[in-house]
Structure 1
């Protein structure tokens, strides 16, 4: 049953371009490999920098705790005199 007139056949597209001429080939592969290597190196460097910041923060906390303990001890010695 056709509602709006006769149906027309849908044309099948034919291949007009050589499939080998539209592939990225070796230059495309090499570019992707370079991008992947660059991203891996950037992630590695970022992790190193973040770890360094964490270590510095831990050292600061330890130094602050030692300093607070020394102050508390000094204040305790001053009140005993």
Structure 2
């Protein structure tokens, strides 16, 4: 394994003296790819927020229904009054 790394490092060419790394830009393709990644990230975040909000609302409604059922079961007179009317 070490010999493979040595061979790769030995074969690495020297940079061109006329090459300026400050003038290299990703161009239009790089911008489009970055923009699509940003849009995908935004959509995923919105979806996660929507799902978390939905789960929270469902838990709140379940707590309310459980509280109403417990209150109804705790007071048997109110259940009888509802049936007689």
TM class, shorter-chain normalised?
Answer: 0.5 to 0.7
Q: CA RMSD in A?
A: 2.9
49, 55, 74: which one aligns with 2:51: 49
Q: What TM-score does the superposition give when structure 1 sets the normalisation length?
A: 0.68
Structure with bigger RCO (C-alpha 8 Å, 6+ apart) = 2
State the distance in 2 between where 1:15 and 1:40 align.
42
- The equivalent of 2:19 in structure 1 is 17
Q: What TM-score does the superposition give when structure 2 sets the normalisation length?
A: 0.65
Name the SS for the 1:36 alignment partner. helix
Q: How many residues align?
A: 66
User: Could you list the runs of 5+ residues in structure 1 that have no partner in the other structure?
Assistant: 1-13
Greater helix proportion: 2
User: Could you list the runs of 5+ residues in structure 2 that have no partner in the other structure?
Assistant: 1-15, 80-85
State the distance in 2 between where 1:70 and 1:59 align.
16
